[in-house]
Amino acid sequence: MAYRYHEKEGDDEKMKKWLWCMILLVLLLYGCAQTNILERIGLTTLIGYDVGKEKKMQTTAVIREVNPEFQSKVDVITTEDNTSKGNRMEVNRRVSKKVMIGQMRVILFGEALAEEGLHYYIDASLENASVNNGVYTAIVKDQVAPLLEYDYQNIEDIGQHIYRLLEQNIQQEYMISSMLHEVGRDYYAVGRDMAMPIIEKEEELIKLSGIALFKDGKMVSTLPPPDSFYVKVIRDTFKSGIYETTLQSEDLPSILQKKTDDTMTVAFDAIRSKRTMTLVDAKNPEFDLTIKLKARVLEVSPSFDQSHRKSVEALEKAIQHKLTKELARVIAHSQKVESDVFGFGEEYRSHVRHAELTKEKWHSLYKNMKVNIHVDFVILRNGVFE
Amino acid sequence: MKIPPKEMFNAHLLFFVMHGAQIGVGVQGFQRIIYQDAHQDAWISVLLAGIATHIVTFFMIRTLEMYGSNDLYGIHQDIFGRWIGNVFNVIYVLYCFIAFFSVLRNYIEVIQAWIFPNIGEWFLASTLLLIIIYAFTAGLRVMVGVSFFSVILSLWLVLMLGFPLKFASVNNLLPILETDFRSILKGAHSMTFTIIGFEILMVIYPFVQDKKQVSKYAHLSLLATTTIYVAVMVVSLMYYSGGEIQRTVWATLTLFSFISFPFIERFEFIVVCFWMLIIIPNLCLYAWAAYRGTIRLINISSTKFIWLFALLIFLGTLVVQTRFQINGMDTKLSRAAFYIVFLYPILLWLIVIMRKKVMMKK
Amino acid sequence: MIFKRLLDKQQSSPPMEAPPTNVEPIANTAQLFIQAIQAATHYPDDLIVKSLSPTLTLLYINHLVDNQTLNDHIIAPLQVNTTTTPEAVIDTLSVADIQHGSILAEAIDALVHGAALIHVAGYSKVIFASIITRETRALSTPENESQVIGTQVGFNESLATNISLIRRYIISPDLCHKKITIGRRTHTAVSLIYIHGIASEQMVNTVQQRLTDLRIDALIDSAVLAEMIDDNSLSVFPQMLLTERPDRFCDGLLDGKVGIVVDGSSMAVICPQSFSEFFQSQEDQNLRWPIATFVRLLRLAAFFLSVYLTPFYVAALTFHYEVIPQAFIVPLSESRALVPFPPIFEALLLEIIIELLREAGARLPTKIGQTIGIVGGIVIGTAAVQAGITSNILLIIIALSALASFTSPSYMMGNVVRLIRFPIILLAGYWGFYGIMLAFCFLLIHLLRQSSLGAPYLSPFYPPRFKDMRDSIIRMPIPLTAKRPTFTRPTDEYKFNPDEPIKPKKS
């Protein structure tokens, strides 16, 4: 309201109208949006799916609740119903607070369920806007429910614990990454299959016990944890990850051997790895797989003189050899179970025009695929004491 | 119609106006629609659509230059005479109305799908409309300002595209040009809904101060839009696998889903709400374009117009409720927009040229 | 609004300022003249009437004139030389400001402005010798806009002192000074100050027009004046700067702005002023540029933090629990566990407590005020958390946003920040991030709608002027800021030639 400089007549009237409108709205819309006040909801931090005994699915939810009496508590509730939403309702009937899944961090699947196929569960999770695409997925050996329901002595919040366990191992690149997004991507990709870590209960602890290989959303095989290094090396480029191997005496060059039947244990820490896949032959798929690894030797036993160039080179050679062998073994295993967790199929699809590739077609091709593995292993340095 | 110099704005602001008018709700989920036809070459479709906008704009500017300081509505009246011209004007006003409605309804749908599933659309519509009315009643200068800030303040979203690259795989883009050209063109055609908005130039042209600079800034803004669209498309293609992208309704928003900072997670919740700032110029400019057409038809004050306009839109949101209706509306609008925005300006240019030649002969 | 209507009504009614008595001449006998004066001033007890000689009569208002001058330069010379004509009196007196008039109203006006009237019997003329003395406090440091580096002098309530302060900083014949009287009853002297050759003529005319058109009966302080001559008096955002720093005032003048100084008010008005300039302090000019830039960015960040931090907390805890990082979720929910209220209520409660403390601190005498700050901050805060009516995390957030709102160098803008937080908290409490964004858009459009003397309020960001941005939320080194801000539409655009180095190279 400039005292004389009002260009438009009735500006004040308009302002008045405005104010009224806003006030009216505020009054009218009181309580319009549904609130989810943090401490009044039960936060599901982890959810596990199993095959149901009577109904289609059994879910076990780890719910964190905050109560004024005891600061916070963790409930593990197992229910059975036909849909995940139905299960949520079932859970709601058992807890005092509204159960929400927006803070979910981990989704676990029972082994039996995984063997039946996870398609439905992956779709349902991707579809739900409240579910973060960054949640971790994993397979539980046997059933999820017993693993979660067990009263661990040293684990207070099982949901948090499993999340930290997976997060820590995946971020350190000891384990293959299995975020929901990655799982969904691999599931819907033509030339790639999902892979997830497996966890199992070991008395009072929970441990990572391997990698589950999938074919078309169905779990078909497993690999032991040490093999996760090989799977990771072939799956993608990465930056760290400790690897330990025992070189058999036949692989060892004589320069490193003191006695002829000596084995040598080497632990190294891959600083950088780069893999390149090239399709050599499209008809009967044949790939050249080149892996360049730069590493830092952490431990060698028995120790040898690392200041000698020759012996270091010999060690590099030996490791190369060993790696090639192991990689070939892992690939062969995955071929046997027709699970392309490495993404050879994507490479094939992206380089063969009009391949009209489908998952089925690729799986039949994959079985007979040939891979030539070249490993280029370089020891950059060792520790500070030679 | 003479435009007072006070209402005119600098040519470089045209960049923000056109860019702000183009980027709206479409970019939130255009990936799946384009992918359906063009598969991994979807980014080429986007690029082609971008090039098409350049061509159309070129003709638009040619047409407008011939008339100096007249807008589309004036040109219609001049070419086709008062009556038939006004029929065309009514069509264009209707188009603006529906485009406005579509943007608003789509945004409401996003809000409901992501954040507030049980908040009434009438509430979201009325709050957004009040904001629009507040901007509209202040005149074009403020609306241009809103476009300017909308573009500047959303620039950081482009940087966020860097995060999904962690999961990107270049293989997803290969083999390039596997899809046949027809399908790529079809994909480009599906871009219509996302890329329209630049037709605001036809109405806003008389308000630009330095007409010689128009072409430069108009094309720059189109270039910026196309770059952003192509970037979003390329990142999405690399991030998602084929089957996934087809099933993701708002792929751009889902891109932000896993981003987390020490102080905040689930970035898409912020982005969805922040998107309001991005659609406000869309809405303002469509409403304004409709207003410019309406005052050629009937004598109405801008305040009265916008309240009426808002009321109609509001009633519309009560009618269109389901996702199917919205998608149906989008497809229809997209089809109409293809003729109105892409083909018609070239036709108009031809007519104007022909007319000029006939006049010269006389 | 009501005020304006009153003004409109007044404008339509016949003007009251020119009663027919205005042209009444001065009587030529002392007796009648004294009576007339006494009648016009309602027989005040401090009106002194002195007969110096049979022909000369002296009238003045006690305490309004300087006694020393009165004795030495008026009474003494007139007693020595007995003069009988007004011309002779004027010659005799050694007072600088001396005038004469023949209309009664003029005489009364001069009298209340601190003049001694000398009436010479037989003449219908009177001599006004202005020997005013007004009680004023000594110059002191600016209390509200204190700064570490820079001048330590502030305006005081005396117009003359203030003008002299300004004239000390800008020694130039181009410094224009126009006097306008405002207020039907108070006749407050208002000075319009600008620099000819820099300030835009149009803006000067606009201000002058707005000042002369004001029809109010009283003007006590410049803040009232600023509000009344604003472009949009209804907006919560000030569009003119109130400052008590002469250096800031002069800096504004040198940027082509127009200044207004009101007698009796220690704050001067500077206009036009853009939004970003409210976050600048005069000290920024004195600091080195990287530090000044940092401080300015800090202040702008503080503005946003102060306005949006609490609403963000409310929104996240009420609706968007998904966005809270995993590491925060347990401490946050545990701190909230005992709180019986929803977050919006909790936040409003705490905000109101903070506002109460602030208001109490401002109203109480300084010494008690400090105690209140400590009592409030520590005792109430801790007690509130222990009693379980707020969470300690919110306490930190509220304290932080209160702290941030104090960083604004302009107290007026600080108040705005203080106020607009409340509606945004409400919106956040009802509709989460959507509500916050609604508020953000509304605020943006509102700021875009504002203007200061017709100049865009959001300048130099909109309309974008890249050269002006060098001295806006950042401050570039002085050689790069040769241009005066564009939005003041200065007649002389450059402070110095940007192509020539301002300091010749050292040889």
Integer Cα distance of C335 and C392 in angstroms: 7
Q: Which residues of chain B lie closer than 8 angstroms to A29, CB-CB?
A: 123
Same domain, C339 and C442: yes
Give the position of tokens 């008018």. Answer: B21
Integer Cα distance of A102 and A114 in angstroms: 24
Percent of chain A scored above 90 by pLDDT?
5
Domain that holds residue B32: 5-361
* Other CB atoms within 10 Å distance of the CB of residue C331: 12
Task: Note the pLDDT of residue A106.
Answer: 92
Q: Which residues of chain B lie closer than 8 angstroms to A185, CB-CB?
A: 167, 239-241, 244
Q: In this structure, is residue C467 part of a structural domain?
A: no
Same domain, C54 and C120: yes
Q: How far is C426 from chain B (nearest CA, A)?
A: 15
Query: Cβ–Cβ of B257/A181 closer than 8 Å?
Result: yes
HEC-encoded secondary structure of C293-336: HHHHHHHHHHHHHHHHHHHHHHHHHHCCHHHCCHHHHHHHHHHH
What pLDDT, in 10s, does the model give residues A310-361?
778 888 888 888 888 888 898 888 888 888 888 888 888 888 888 778 888 8
Question: What residue in B sits closest to A34 (Cα-Cα)?
Answer: B118
C346 shares contact with chain A (CB less than 8 Å): no
* Other CB atoms within 10 Å distance of the CB of residue C202: 12
Mean pLDDT of chain A, nearest integer: 81
Q: Tell me, what amino acid is at B302?
A: S
Q: What is the ipTM of this complex?
A: 0.94
Integer Cα distance of C378 and C400 in angstroms: 14
Q: In this structure, is residue C507 part of a structural domain?
A: no
Same domain, C113 and C166: no
Same domain, C200 and C324: no
Question: What residue in B sits closest to C434 (Cα-Cα)?
Answer: B273
Of B9, B119, B276, the CB nearest to C437: B276
Q: Is the pLDDT of residue B131 over 80?
A: yes
Q: Which residues of chain C lie closer than 8 angstroms to A30, CB-CB?
A: 430
Phi first, then psi: give them for residue C339, nearest 5 degrees.
-75, 125
Integer Cα distance of C114 and C133 in angstroms: 7
Q: Where are the domains of chain A?
A: 38-223, 236-381
Given a contact as 3+ CB pairs under 8 Å, which chains touch C? A, B
Pairing assessment for the beta strands A106-110 and A136-140 based on DSSP bridges? parallel
Same domain, C293 and C437: yes
* DSSP H/E element including B236: helix B214-239
Q: How far is B156 from chain C (nearest CA, A)?
A: 16
User: What is the total count of domains within chain B?
Assistant: 1
Q: Which residues of chain B lie closer than 8 angstroms to C445, CB-CB?
A: 131, 134-135, 138, 142, 146
Q: Is the pLDDT of residue B240 over 50?
A: yes
Integer Cα distance of C266 and C260 in angstroms: 11
Q: What angle do CA A73, A78, A82 make, to 5 degrees?
A: 140
Query: Cβ–Cβ of C330/A72 closer than 8 Å?
Result: yes
- Which of C455, C471, C487 finishes a domain? C455
Burial grade of C288 (CB within 10 A; 0-12, 13-18, 19 or more): exposed
A15 pLDDT band, cuts 50/70/90, is low
More confident of the two residues A263 and C177: C177
Q: Which residues of chain A lie closer than 8 angstroms to B114, CB-CB?
A: 129
Same domain, C180 and C306: no
Integer Cα distance of B335 and A193 in angstroms: 39
Q: How far is A286 from chain C (nearest CA, A)?
A: 45
Burial grade of B1 (CB within 10 A; 0-12, 13-18, 19 or more): exposed
Query: Cβ–Cβ of C448/B10 closer than 8 Å?
Result: no
Q: In this structure, is residue C301 part of a structural domain?
A: yes
Instruction: Give the list of residues 6+ apart from residue C27 with CB closer than 8 angstroms, or none.
Output: C33, C36, C124
B150: tokens are 């909308």
User: What is the total count of domains within chain C?
Assistant: 3
Q: Is the pLDDT of residue A245 over 80?
A: no
Does domain A236-381 bear CATH number 1.10.3720.10? no
C332 shares contact with chain A (CB less than 8 Å): yes
Q: In this structure, is residue C110 part of a structural domain?
A: yes
Same domain, C44 and C96: yes
Rounded mean pLDDT, A130-136: 88
Query: Cβ–Cβ of B243/A188 closer than 8 Å?
Result: yes
Tell me what percent of chain A is helix, strand and coil, each rounded to the nearest 5.
Answer: 35, 30, 35
Give the position of tokens 């470089």. Answer: B12
B133 shares contact with chain C (CB less than 8 Å): no
**CA A241 to mean position of chain CA atoms:** 15
* C-alpha torsion sign, points B110, B115, B121, B123: negative
Query: Cβ–Cβ of C324/B111 closer than 8 Å?
Result: no
Q: In this structure, is residue C264 part of a structural domain?
A: yes
Find which of B107, B141, B142 to mutate to test the C interface (most C CBs within 10 Å of its CB).
B142
Q: Which residues of chain B lie closer than 8 angstroms to C458, CB-CB?
A: 145
C-alpha Rg value of chain B to the nearest Å: 20
What pLDDT, in 10s, does the model give residues B164-210?
888 888 888 888 888 888 999 999 998 998 999 999 999 999 999 88
Of B10, B119, B272, the CB nearest to C463: B10
Pairing assessment for the beta strands A106-110 and A41-51 based on DSSP bridges? parallel
Q: Is the pLDDT of residue A121 over 70?
A: yes
**CA B204 to mean position of chain CA atoms:** 14
Rounded mean pLDDT, A227-231: 84
Task: Note the pLDDT of residue A240.
Answer: 67
What pLDDT, in 10s, does the model give residues B137-167?
988 999 999 999 999 999 999 998 888 888 8
Given a contact as 3+ CB pairs under 8 Å, which chains touch A? B, C
Q: Is the pLDDT of residue A31 over 60?
A: no
Please tell me the number of Cα atoms within 13 Å of C485 on its side-chain side: 29
Q: Are A245 and A265 contacting, i.e. CB atoms less than 8 angstroms apart? A: yes
C449 shares contact with chain A (CB less than 8 Å): no
A130 shares contact with chain C (CB less than 8 Å): yes
C-alpha Rg value of chain C to the nearest Å: 29
Task: Note the pLDDT of residue A12.
Answer: 57
Q: Which is nearest to B239 in space by CA: B254, B226, B224, B229?
A: B254
Instruction: Give the list of residues 6+ apart from residue B214 with CB closer than 8 angstroms, or none.
Output: B11, B14, B61, B64, B201, B205, B208
Rounded mean pLDDT, A120-148: 88
- Global confidence as pTM: 0.89
Q: How far is B61 from chain A (nearest CA, A)?
A: 34
Backbone region of residue C264 per phi and psi (left: phi > 0; alpha: psi in -120 to 50; beta: other values)? left
Of C441, C449, C462, the CB nearest to B276: C441
Three-state DSSP state, B59 = helix
C128: tokens are 């006004």
C225 shares contact with chain A (CB less than 8 Å): no
Same domain, C324 and C355: yes
The parts of chain C modelled with pLDDT lower than 50 are 1-20
Q: Are A225 and A197 contacting, i.e. CB atoms less than 8 angstroms apart? A: no
Query: Cβ–Cβ of B124/C434 closer than 8 Å?
Result: yes
Q: In this structure, is residue C476 part of a structural domain?
A: no
C2: tokens are 């009501």
CATH of the domain at B341: 1.20.1740.10
Same domain, C447 and C325: yes
Task: Note the pLDDT of residue C163.
Answer: 92
Same domain, C225 and C260: yes
Q: How far is C183 from chain B (nearest CA, A)?
A: 33
Of B130, B174, B254, the CB nearest to A21: B130
Please tell me the number of Cα atoms within 13 Å of A262 on its side-chain side: 17
Integer Cα distance of A83 and A57 in angstroms: 7
C7 shares contact with chain A (CB less than 8 Å): yes
A128 shares contact with chain C (CB less than 8 Å): no
Q: In this structure, is residue C438 part of a structural domain?
A: yes
Q: Determine which of A3-7, A44-48, A221-225, B219-223 has the lowest per-residue pLDDT on average.
A: A3-7
Q: Are A341 and A235 contacting, i.e. CB atoms less than 8 angstroms apart? A: yes
Q: How far is C442 from chain B (nearest CA, A)?
A: 6
Same domain, C265 and C292: no
Domain that holds residue C202: 159-273
Question: What residue in A sits closest to C213 (Cα-Cα)?
Answer: A4
Same domain, C370 and C448: yes
Integer Cα distance of C271 and C431 in angstroms: 38
Task: Note the pLDDT of residue C42.
Answer: 86
Q: Tell me, what amino acid is at C132?
A: I
What pLDDT, in 10s, does the model give residues B13-35?
999 999 999 998 888 989 999 99
Q: How far is B346 from chain A (nearest CA, A)?
A: 37
Given a contact as 3+ CB pairs under 8 Å, which chains touch B? A, C
Three-state DSSP state, B110 = helix
Backbone region of residue C498 per phi and psi (left: phi > 0; alpha: psi in -120 to 50; beta: other values)? alpha
A136 pLDDT band, cuts 50/70/90, is very high
